[in-house]
Amino acid sequence: MNKYHIWTIGCQMNVADSTHVGAELEKLGYEPTNDVDAADVIVLNTCVVRQSAEDKAQGKLGALKPWRKAHPDRTLALMGCMVGVRPSPKLVEAYPWVDVFMAPSEAAPLVGHLRSRLIEEELAAIEMQQLRSRHELQDGAYPTASIKHLALLGEAPVAANVPVVYGCSHACTFCIIPFRRGVERSRPLAEIVSEVRGLVAQGVREVTLLGQIVDRYGYDLDGETDLTALLEAVHAVDGLLRIRFLTSHPNYLDDRLLEAVAALPKVMPHIEVPIQAGDDEVLAHMRRGYTVDDYRRLVARIRHIVPGAAIHTDVIVGFPGETAAQFEGTYDILEELHLEKTHMARYSPRPGTVSARKMDDDVPDAEKHRRLALLEAQHERISGEINERWQGAAVEVLVEEKHKGKWRGRTPQNRLVFFEDSRDLRGQLVPVQITSTSPWAMQGLATDAPTPT
Ligand code: SF4
């Protein structure tokens, strides 16, 4: 049987895209392998949001040149943000050993390439008349425009990602996503719900609905469908235990949506909403569209409507022109808001973005490292304090898998919990009493039989 291997770097959207490509390849009769030399098809699903991710993808591309050259029948596909909406002639010229270039979320070019190869093989074996009818049959069997994710590779995970809106039409000055993933496109609600049903039938118990600005789901549809309507529809899927959604934007997280989070028991009290900087001038240069005070009020609103919600944020340090005092604004607002999790990054200019073209990357690298280290230490302390509050509490854990002899799962607030138990608890909701905590995880004891699912 033909085999495929997918290498993925970057965000959860890329992970979901890779799952989709794998599912499409399995429909063509391919099976997954981790052994690069045994693979007939390799897909590199790339990210260029940070320089380090782009460097790794380029390294992989170089390393795979001999693999591709060794067998003319092998296929190497390059996918994701490195390709963008359309591959540039420069990219195609730089990597002549790449057979297929695929935009983010689009499996069709690879499927089409492999199908035409199959058809070529058949051409040698059958008569022209038979070929025509077979060709027509196959055209119907593989709709190339499909962006569904109905199958999963191997055993279904307990928690799966489901893209609901592709691309982004915002224009944050530092961000390459709109150039690489194209304009915002929402998937039809019915298609998403049927995908979730399919995932649940395969064993998935939690879905995370993904979008660059997930709260804008439906803005490009019929004027009635929105993320709240989608949450309600997905909530009605039998057998599904938990729903999360990310990433939110401060300008679009409205009360109606927050009220749905509070009212729908399967929707977890967990909001991912980046602040990016704690200074109004820096936010304006980033063209984020809100002020620090707007974000402060948003956090208060989330905590008022969804008590106990975990709020996660993103921050960039060393944006062009960010002074030490402006960075302190970021440090101070994080101290004040005491958010559950902060994802941090040092600014690196991405070619083609407004900040790379028009702003000086003038914060020295050592200073970016210093600012990042300060935020990391702060985050470790705050995260430790937040986890400590759970000491002795009973929490409900959705068990995902065994890790080093212990069950690993997450609380509704997405805190990681480990506990020992000899029963097979994968995919079940288990009440756990927390016995010890650290900044990154909590340990506990299962206190009762699992909740039947
Ligand atoms: S909202 Fe801004 S940061 Fe997020 S994907 Fe769109 S352009 Fe990028």
The CA distances from residue 300 to 218, 227, 276, 295, in Å, are 26, 21, 18, 9
β-strands 394-403, 406-410: how paired? Answer: antiparallel
- The pocket around ligand 1, CB under 6 angstroms, is made up of 168, 170, 172, 175, 177-178, 212-213, 249
Q: How far is the CA of 300 from the centre of ligand 1 (A)?
A: 23
Separation between Cα atoms, residue 438 and residue 56, nearest integer Å: 31
Q: How far is the CA of 317 from the centre of ligand 1 (A)?
A: 16
pLDDT score at 127: 40
Choose between 103 and 389: higher pLDDT. Answer: 389
Q: How far is the CA of 174 from the centre of ligand 1 (A)?
A: 9
Q: What is the mean pLDDT of residues 234-257?
A: 97
pLDDT score at 355: 96
The answer to whether 362 touches 321, Cβ cutoff 8 Å, is yes
343: CB partners within 8 A, 6+ apart: 274, 312, 313, 314, 315
**Residue from 172, 183, 282, 319 to probe ligand 1 pocket by mutation (most atoms less than 8 Å from CB):** 172
For residue 146, is pLDDT > 90?
A: no
pLDDT score at 301: 98
Under DSSP, the state recorded for 144 is T
Q: Which atom of ligand 1 is nearest to the CA of 213?
A: 1
* Phi–psi pair at 372, nearest 5 degrees: -65, -45
Residue type, 165: V
**pLDDT level of residue 90 (50, 70, 90 thresholds):** confident
Look at the domain 3-141 and name its fold. Answer: Rossmann fold (3.40.50)
pLDDT score at 118: 64
β-strands 100-102, 3-8: how paired? Answer: unpaired
What are residue 437's DSSP bridge partners?
442
CA-closest candidate to residue 199, choices 147, 139, 150: 150
Q: How far is the CA of 172 from the centre of ligand 1 (A)?
A: 6
108: CB partners within 8 A, 6+ apart: 102, 144, 145, 146
Q: Whose CA is nearest to atom 2 of ligand 1?
A: 172
CA-closest candidate to residue 159, choices 217, 192, 221, 202: 202
Separation between Cα atoms, residue 435 and residue 134, nearest integer Å: 63
Q: How far is the CA of 141 from the centre of ligand 1 (A)?
A: 36
Q: How far is the CA of 166 from the centre of ligand 1 (A)?
A: 12
For residue 61, is pLDDT > 80?
A: yes
For 159-388, CATH number?
Answer: 3.80.30.20
Q: Whose CA is nearest to atom 4 of ligand 1?
A: 212
Give the start-to-end residue ranges of the domains of the chain.
3-141, 159-388, 394-446
Q: Which atom of ligand 1 is nearest to the CA of 181?
A: 5
382: CB partners within 8 A, 6+ apart: 334, 335, 338, 339
Question: Taking the CB of residue 309, how many other CB atoms lie within 10 A of it?
Answer: 20
Choose between 13 and 115: higher pLDDT. Answer: 13
Q: How far is the CA of 435 from the centre of ligand 1 (A)?
A: 39
On the question of a common fold for 159-388 and 394-446, the answer reads: no
Helix (H) or strand (E) holding 328: helix 324-337
Prediction pTM value: 0.78
Task: Write down the mean pLDDT value for the chain.
Answer: 88
The answer to whether 196 touches 207, Cβ cutoff 8 Å, is yes
Q: What is the mean pLDDT of residues 125-150?
A: 38
Sign of the C-alpha dihedral, residues 12, 18, 21, 25?
negative
For residue 184, is pLDDT > 70?
A: yes
- Beta strands (DSSP E) in 18-158 are 31-32, 41-46, 75-80, 100-102
362: CB partners within 8 A, 6+ apart: 320, 321
Q: Which atom of ligand 1 is nearest to the CA of 247?
A: 4
Q: How far is the CA of 167 from the centre of ligand 1 (A)?
A: 9
Q: For the domain with range 394-446, which CATH number is right: 3.30.720.120, 3.40.50.970, 2.40.50.140, 2.60.40.3140?
A: 2.40.50.140
Q: Whose CA is nearest to atom 1 of ligand 1?
A: 170
For residue 371, is pLDDT > 50?
A: yes
For residue 374, is pLDDT > 50?
A: yes
Q: How far is the CA of 130 from the centre of ligand 1 (A)?
A: 50
What are residue 444's DSSP bridge partners?
419, 434
**pLDDT level of residue 123 (50, 70, 90 thresholds):** very low
For 276-323, write each residue's pLDDT tens digit. Answer: 999 999 999 999 999 999 999 999 999 999 999 999 999 999 999 999
Q: Which atom of ligand 1 is nearest to the CA of 212?
A: 5
CA-closest candidate to residue 163, choices 331, 49, 29, 17: 17
pLDDT score at 20: 84
Q: Which atom of ligand 1 is nearest to the CA of 249?
A: 1
**pLDDT level of residue 236 (50, 70, 90 thresholds):** very high
Separation between Cα atoms, residue 334 and residue 381, nearest integer Å: 12
The answer to whether 216 touches 250, Cβ cutoff 8 Å, is no
**Residue from 105, 169, 213 to probe ligand 1 pocket by mutation (most atoms less than 8 Å from CB):** 213
Based on its alpha-carbon atoms, the radius of gyration of the chain, rounded to whole angstroms, reads: 23
Sign of the C-alpha dihedral, residues 160, 82, 227, 190?
negative
Helix axes 108-125, 12-27, angle to 10 degrees: 20
- Beta strands (DSSP E) in 146-267 are 159-166, 185-186, 206-211, 242-246
Phi-psi group of 9: left, alpha or beta (phi > 0 → left; psi -120 to 50 → alpha; rest → beta)? beta
